[in-house]
Amino acid sequence: MIARLLLATSRTGIFFALLAGACATKPQPPSMSERTRAAQLASFDETYTKIKDRHFDPEKVGPQWDAKHAELRPKVENARTADEARSATKELIASLGQSHFGIIAADAYEDIAEKPGDESQSQADSGAEPGFELRAINGQAVVTRIVPDSPASKAGVQRGWALTAVNGKPVAPILSKLKKAHADSRDSGLMMAIALRGLLHGPDGAEAHYEFLGADDRPISVRLNLEPPQGTPVRFGNLPTMYIEVDRRPPVPGIGYMWFSAWFDPPKLITELQAAIKDCKSCEGFVLDLRGNVGGIGALAMGFGGWFVDKPDQKLGTLITRDTRLNFVLNPRSAPFTGPLAILVDEMSASTSEIFAGGMQDIGRARVFGSPTPGAALPSTVEVLPSGDRLQFAFANYISAKGEPLEARGVHIDEPVAVTRDALLAGRDPVLDAAVAWIRSQKK
């Protein structure tokens, strides 16, 4: 699953690359040197070994894993290009059929890094952005969020507008291709959303031309100068730089709120949550908005959970490696928020977002609103291979407090709420509206 992901952005957290070409076609590279071939072969073997030695389920990496390695190794030995060799490694990984396993190509890191004056840098592979986000809704790429003070915000781009073309390139064929490719996959919404996000990026300062359909399908043309992502830059392990955004402006009076882009930078996020809780002493309820949050550091789920419970010895679930079991135990804070807690999720709420939402739901502490999550909840790490590529692989399984895996199943949605283009055009947020209505119904 995740091994098919597109390079998202440095903002998307734990999910990075891993599919070339859904939004841009690169020229075929020249045949690789023997040195490059040796590095790719070493990377293939190291990928096989690392996963075999550290996979949490030895049966998954038994005789069939060995046979797949032997079958694919000649493909690497005879590959004409690094991409061709890398494809064999990806095929090996894909045979596991699990999320959080994949190869991040070395040049993905070069693409993310800023290169002022580098005219060769392709727009689809760069990190600057226009300041709006898209979701696939009823066959259209619909604007669902506008980043405050971004080029899109200043130009008047509105939620509910449907993107039809980028720099003259139609969006509909891309959506059609993605929908067909992931038609039978639970994580299709995640894959399509990340692909659409990658479609918007370009070099810092570049002008991009976007064509939309506005209200009543009125054509609208907008030119925007792309800017680096907003938020606090964060480095974590071998991942590229990420940008953590936080929004805790209450959408309605009397109800606390916090949205953040990824589960990274613990000091910042815990400080922001503490401030939101402090400001919410007399609130009717609290909304934690995890829409678009693809995950990050799993242990942060425990830190967050402690701010919403007042009883000790509760746990979100259990992390299981080949040799150990770690319970995600919640330690109540001295002044937690104990009122109604609503958690908002969507097709991009993955990994730690699923662990937190599912765990708080299991202990009866939260009600979950929105659309199905992707079921991509395996804890993983990223390590550098001899070729310079990065290998992302899961080292543990995660079982919820009720003893159920989240992988491939996702979080149970207490109140499913569909987001429509008409609602967005009308300035409404159906998921948030449902959560607010529930919180107010709990008032005694």
Say if CB 192 and CB 172 are below 8 A apart: no
> Which residue(s) pair with 243 in the sheet?
233
CATH level 3 topology of 245-381+395-441? 2-enoyl-CoA Hydratase; Chain A, domain 1 (3.90.226)
Amino acid present at 369 = F
Mean pLDDT value across residues 118-128: 44
Confidence of residue 409 (pLDDT cuts 50, 70, 90): confident
Strand partners, 341: 286
Tokens of 345: 């999720």
Across the range 346-360, mean pLDDT stands at 94
Q: Is the pLDDT of residue 24 over 50?
A: no
Kindly tell me if the per-residue pLDDT of 68 is higher than 50: yes
Mean pLDDT of the chain: 86
Res 184: pLDDT: 63
Chain CA centroid to CA 347, Å:
9
Which pLDDT band holds residue 238 (cuts at 50, 70, 90)? low
Q: Which of 17-31, 123-137, 175-189, 245-259 has the highest mean pLDDT?
A: 245-259
**Would you state the pLDDT for residue 242?**
82
Position with higher pLDDT, 76 vs 117: 76
- Mean pLDDT computed over 57-81: 96
- What is the arithmetic mean of pLDDT over 251-272? 95
Best CA proximity match to 133, nearest among 199, 187, 183, 191 = 199
Q: Where are the domains of the chain?
A: 19-104, 123-225, 245-381+395-441
Answer whether residue 371 shows pLDDT above 70: yes
Query: What is the full DSSP assignment across 364-411?
Result: T--EEEES--------EEEEE-TTS-EEEEE--EEEETTS-B-TTT--
**Is the pLDDT reported for residue 108 higher than 80?**
no
pLDDT reading at 25 higher than 70: no
Residue 433 CA to residue 252 CA, distance in Å, equals: 10
Say which residue the tokens 């502490």 belong to.
365
* Amino acid in the structure at residue 126: S
Closest CA to 273 of 347, 188, 222, 337: 337
User: Please, which pLDDT band fits residue 1 given cuts at 50, 70 and 90?
Assistant: very low
Helix (H) or strand (E) holding 101: none
Please compute the mean of the pLDDT values over residues 62-74 and round it to a whole number.
97
Contact yes or no for 399/405 (Cβ under 8 A): yes
Q: Is the dihedral of CA 353, 357, 359, 360 positive or negative?
A: positive
- Residue 35: what pLDDT? 93
pTM of the model: 0.80
What local confidence, expressed as pLDDT, does residue 114 receive? 33
At residue 443, the pLDDT reads 79
Give the confidence band of 18 by pLDDT, cuts at 50, 70, 90: very low
Q: Report the C-alpha gap between 216 and 159 in whole angstroms.
A: 14
β-strand partners of 405? 399
Q: What is the pLDDT of residue 103?
A: 87
Please state, in angstroms and rounded to a whole number, the distance separating the CA atoms of residues 396 and 405. 12
The pLDDT, as a whole number, for residue 444 is: 59
Quick check: 118 and 410 in contact, CB under 8 A?
A: no
Q: What is the pLDDT of residues 80-105, one digit of tens each?
A: 999 999 999 999 999 998 888 888 78
The yes-or-no verdict on residue 27 having pLDDT over 50 is: no
Same topology between domain 123-225 and domain 245-381+395-441: no
Residue 310's Cβ-side half-sphere holds a number of Cα atoms within 13 Å equal to: 5
| 359 pLDDT tier (thresholds 50, 70, 90) | very high
Instruction: Please give the pLDDT value at position 89.
Output: 96
Say yes or no to pLDDT of 341 above 60: yes
Average pLDDT (295-310) is 94
CATH 2.60.40.150 fits 123-225, yes or no: no
Q: Give the whole-angstrom CA distance, residue 139 versus residue 163.
A: 11
What the block records as the tokens of 83 is 């991409």
Taking residue 276's Cβ as centre, other Cβ atoms within 10 Å add up to 21
156 φ/ψ sector (left φ>0, alpha ψ -120 to 50, else beta): left
pLDDT value at residue 241:
78
At 194, the pLDDT band (50, 70, 90 cuts) reads: confident
